[in-house]
Structure 1
């Protein structure tokens, strides 16, 4: 079995380096993609219900996107191996753009459901190829900072999108879908024009490109990749699943507060995560992946377990803010581990990593809802906290220090 790359145990402060062009471009693309996605999310359930269907059918429209992402992900890695990251990324954005525009013109529920499913396929192509390109465009000592910048584009876009969506919804229920198609078109044009093979003389990009790709079997046996996949599943279950599904219900049914407070609380957590991204990603690159994963997942486990015990909105907001700071580390460190384990052109490992999050995001709300029905909020949140704690324990086996570029 191939041994993990050498690591540096000491952590001298490296010189501040500019991010590569592809990293900046991918961050801009992420912003435009997430602005559009955030615009659609608040109106999608209402738009689906306007076709006269029940709540289960409305939920199916929401699930179709995630389900088709999961189904398409195994094939995206092979697409990347054949066509390259840039081509798959641009085609994926195009598919989401066209399907979103057509969704705004849907004549019935079935058309909307099918178009959302097609959009999920394009989304899988975009997200996996973008992350693969990002990991392959940076050296190990800058990897987490590049991921942090990219995720920052998603976070800022995600905060701006819902506000714009509310305004557009006053025009019509279909306006957000056309706006989403427009932002995706902008993202696609940016990708086509500015994402290009490394230029001659770009030392950082050349070093990253020279990093050898590892056979998939070796990557699957690598403790770093396994720890990253466990972390990805736990984060999908807890962040995208349990937190997003149950906090709104907790606010209304337990704390007896208006639903508008849910948006405020999620905004507080998003701001905390955004502010923490830069120091978190620098910590991951300079101190190490291992302490970042252990510490952040342990903190996230404790804060999430305490959420259903919060006596009021202030305490709940503080807990979600702490959880938001932890997710800044949770989003960068596991992804950096995937890059460390897979090397360059790791399309299939990135696809597997993404699938772990999707499975958690799909199963988390279902299991959590069942646990609330048969047990309590405390049990539902406690289950998510237990998965986060398992991720921290698994990370104890990670190598110490940080990877160094191969000479």
Structure 2
């Protein structure tokens, strides 16, 4: 049996028709990202308007991720009990209310409280969206779907920070109100355009007979939770009924089997690739969602002597770099594999963030931000595709998804706090260099892990 070339696999992924529900989620992600991008460059400065230190301002960024981390397990339970759609809408409305309340905060502690409450809703709609995407995405196009969804976020993040910097000229409270309005639009979009029941498509069926070979000994713990689908093992790869993947082996609807029981977290933790993706998710949270959001705006003001406009543009430049990478990283994750893209992304992003704190003028500040953004875009789709490979289409994995998200949030909590106090005690250069160290630790976790894409 011949092995398909990467080119033929890429053609097959491109030919897959994506469900309409994925397009609705992509559009919703774009609106969310615009609002989040508007708030990002002004949040640390709004916190400092209450006359607090850099470290305290960074805590306002971290508290959002902290509440996401604390409530992520509950979000996984809600997804499995209420369903993705209801959990998504409820989470969006909670974040909208929190953002509007931030605009009317009268002191630092009120801002900290209101921003933290938004993290509860954020983890609810994030885990819900990931669950829907995994269930809807055809196995041979998981990288493509992840790239499309992330690209939608990036388009919003490109325009949002620049707009936020301009809106800040009319008052630091206005961006929060605009963000709240955008989230209400998202809730209406999902409520009216996404059906209450979203079944997995027939082409998402995956045979399970190849699992022991594809994953190796690390899959033994997962066997207790049922067959674990491997990405890309559809008819195009020759893994159809001729290989014995009938209903008795857990095949999807096309083979007549029903939906499987949720994947247990302890079973997923028995897979080296899942443990590795938790490490890289932590590193990405530390860098892209933590230090970048907390320190980059302050660095632009304190070290470069620039205003909120430059801070907003720098965040947009980072997003542009990520968007450029997303144009091809999802396709490469489906053809070359998940592991090489994650390793490359960790190295590029980690080194870029480490250098960022030593830039001395606006030009190099923007240039290095672009490089760091490229690294984040290289690994993003491959990380989500790895989790999708572990869970598969015909089972839910709310707790597995929540743990993956928790690792990113944990990095986004520790990163800004540690970096903020390193700035207060030492320098911005040392604070940004910590992102490089964390990325290299994640690389060590990935080196022995097996590839999940087959």
TM range (shorter): 0.7 to 0.9
Who is 2:68 aligned against?
Answer: 69
C-alpha contact 1:145 1:278 (8 A) present in aligned 2:
no
TM-score under structure 1 length normalisation: 0.84
1:159 match: 158
Please tell me the root mean square deviation across aligned C-alpha atoms, in Å: 3.1
| 1:28-43 mapped onto 2 (5 Å cutoff) | 28-43=27-42
Of 409, 414, 417 in structure 2, the residue corresponding to residue 363 of structure 1 is: 414
**Aligned-residue offset at 1:299:** 2.5
Say yes or no: does 1:329 pair with 2:328.
Answer: no
Cα pair 2:273 2:452 within 8 Å, conserved: no
Contact 2:161 2:312 in 1 (8 A): no
Pairwise mapping of residues 2-401 of structure 1 onto structure 2 (< 5 A)? Answer: 10-11=5-6, 12=8, 13-15=10-12, 16=14, 17-44=16-43, 54-55=52-53, 61-104=60-103, 112-170=111-169, 173-196=172-195, 197-198=197-198, 202-204=201-203, 212=260, 213-248=262-297, 250-251=299-300, 256-259=304-307, 260-310=309-359, 312-343=361-392, 344-400=395-451
How many residues matched? 393
- Compared with structure 1, are the counterparts of its residues 293 and 132 closer, same or farther at alpha carbon in structure 2 (3 Å cutoff)? same
How many Å separate the matches in 2 of 1:143 and 1:26? Answer: 15
**What's the CA shift string for 1:138-179, capped at 9, x where partnerless?**
133211211111112211112222343345445555443333
When normalised by structure 2's length, the TM-score is 0.76
Going from structure 1 to structure 2, the CA distance change for 1:251 and 1:122 (only over 3 Å counts) comes to closer
Pair 1:238–1:172, CA change in 2 (3 A)? closer
Change (3 A) 1:19 1:305: same
SS in 2 for 1:14: helix
Distance 1:305 1:61 in 2: 23
Q: 1:282-307 CA deviation, whole Å, 9 max, x = no partner?
A: 10011100111122212233333333
Alpha carbons of structure 1 residues 388 and 172: separation in structure 2 relative to 1, 3 Å: closer
**Mean CA deviation greater in 225-234 or 325-334:** 325-334
Give the unaligned 5+ runs of structure 2. Answer: 207-228, 230-251, 254-258
Using the TM superposition, give the Cα deviation of residue 73 of structure 1 relative to its aligned residue in structure 2, in angstroms.
0.9
Contact 1:9 1:402 in 2 (8 A): no
Contact 2:58 2:417 in 1 (8 A): no
Q: Distance in 1 between matches of 2:361 and 2:175?
A: 34
Question: 1:187, CA displacement in angstroms?
Answer: 0.6
Matched position secondary structure for 1:27? helix
1:79 offset after TM fit, Å?
A: 0.9
